[in-house]
A = this chain, B = another copy of it.
Amino acid sequence: MALDARYERSRALVFAAVQSVLVIDGVAGLTTDRLAAVSGVSRSTIYRNWPDLAILTCEVFEELMHRDAVDFTADPVQALRDYLVDYARRLNDATYCAVLIALIEASSRDDIFADVHRRTFSQTRSRAADIIRRGQEQGVFRADVNARVGVEDIVAPFLYRRLVTQRNISARQVTELHQRLIGAWSPPS
C-alpha cells in the first residue's frame, strides 16, 4: 500500500476504536494500549500519528458531527422540522451520544476538549439561529423571538431527554416540539 492509503486505513481503524471504547468503557478506557488492542494498529503508529488522545477524540467527534450533514430546505417551518429530526437522529445514535458525553465530561477539565466542544456547539447553534432568522425575514416567525433563547428552545429539550431521562427521542416527540415551537413563534393571525 502507498503511505497515504496505509495512513487512511490506520485512521479509519483507530477512529472506529475510539468510538467503540467510548461506548463500552467511557473516557476512562481511552488509552493508547486499549486503542491498539481494539484497532489492531500498533501502539507506535497510534503514538506517532495521534500523540495526544484528547486531540484524537476531538477529531473523532468533529467527524461524527459532520457526517451526514443535512441541507435544510428554504421553508423555515419545514427546515425547523428537518433540524429537529436530524438532531433527534444524532442523539439517538449510541455512538454519537457516548462521544458527546465524553466531550462534555472532558471539557470541564481540559482546554483542548473545551475548545472543540464550544466550536462544534456554536456550529449547531448557528444552524438553528439561521432557521429562526430566515423565518423572521419571511414573516412566519414573530420578529420579537430572541434568537439566543429560541436556539435554546430548539436544542435543550432533546439534550435533556437523552442525557437525563436516557430514553430515545421518539418521532412523536419531534412532532410535539415542532408544533410547540411553531405555536409559540407564529405571529398573531
Residues of A that sit less than 8 Å from B by CB: 23-28, 30, 97-98, 101-102, 104-109, 114, 117-118, 121, 149, 152-153, 155-157, 159-161, 163-166, 176, 180, 184
User: A165: which of B25, B105, B121, B165 is its contact (CB, 8 Å)?
Assistant: B121
A114 to B166, CA, bound (A): 9
Q: Is the interface of A mostly helix, strand, loop or mixed?
A: helix
Contacts of A105 on B, CB cut-off 8 Å? 26-27, 101-102, 104-105
Contacts of A23 on B, CB cut-off 8 Å? 109
A26 to B149, CA, bound (A): 30
Contacts of A117 on B, CB cut-off 8 Å? 164, 166
A147 to B108, CA, bound (A): 32
Cβ of A163 to closest chain B Cβ, rounded Å: 5
Chain B residue at minimal CB-CB distance from A102 = B105
Cβ of A93 to closest chain B Cβ, rounded Å: 12
Cβ of A144 to closest chain B Cβ, rounded Å: 12
Contacts of A180 on B, CB cut-off 8 Å? 149
A101 to B109, CA, bound (A): 12
